[in-house]
Chain A
Amino acid sequence: MEKLQKMLVEVEVQPGQEVADLMRKIKSEV
């Protein structure tokens, strides 16, 4: 669970925002 918890990044979803966009953003940050 420790590694799984580390994989999860907090996000703030804006109305109408695609989940795919969030995933791309996380990919660029990790």
Chain B
Amino acid sequence: MLKNHRGSSDIIDKDEVEDHGVAVEAGAESTTHHRLGSARKPMSNIHGTNGYLVPLPSSSELLWVLLTSTGRNTQRIQLYALHGHHYTNAFFAIARQQQQQQQSNSSDGIGKDPFILKRISNEFLFRALLKLCQLERRTHQASNDGDIIKFASGLDVHGSDIDGKSWFYRMV
């Protein structure tokens, strides 16, 4: 199982990737995963937050951000962090397994070959929102830490996927 490496994770900053934070109340909308029967199906600690993948035309890949979390399996933690806590993120890109062959064989560009993971980034954190840090710490200094529950709800690419800009929408 994946463990978070909070102490050694990179913290991503506005200077690196444009980030438009949107704060919403945590737990405002929650779902339960009750299943028939007594045994709960084991779940991965790696999951995405949105079904939309951003196309990268230059490399014929699809880009998105995964998140990892810990602490979902204890009953006490589930009271306030149903889907785990101490989230960290990583970019990843997937592509068709036999892309070149498929492009030559298929005229509509839609193939049947499975997607495989092509590229993945190091783990990173979103920097905590400044206003929340000020309220909590009564300070005007920017935080050098991340929130324990935060994820990317959207990712846009403006312009070229090589030298254009990427925009994050994040939820707290």
Q: How large is the interface on B (under 10, 10 to 19, 20 to 34, 35 or more residues)?
A: 20 to 34
Binding site for A on B (CB under 8 A): 1-2, 5, 8, 16-17, 45-46, 66, 68, 90-93, 116-124, 157, 159-166
Q: How large is the interface on A (under 10, 10 to 19, 20 to 34, 35 or more residues)?
A: 10 to 19
Q: How far is the CB of B63 from chain A (nearest CB, A)?
A: 8
- Taken together as a complex, chains A and B put the C-alpha atoms of A30 and B120 apart, in Å, by 12
Question: Do B2 and A18 have beta carbons less than 8 Å apart?
Answer: yes
Question: Do B91 and A4 have beta carbons less than 8 Å apart?
Answer: yes
Measured between beta carbons, the chain A residues less than 8 angstroms from B124 are 7
Given A8-B93, A20-B46, check contact A3 B16 (CB 8 Å).
Answer: yes
Question: Do A4 and B118 have beta carbons less than 8 Å apart?
Answer: no
- Taken together as a complex, chains A and B put the C-alpha atoms of A5 and B46 apart, in Å, by 21
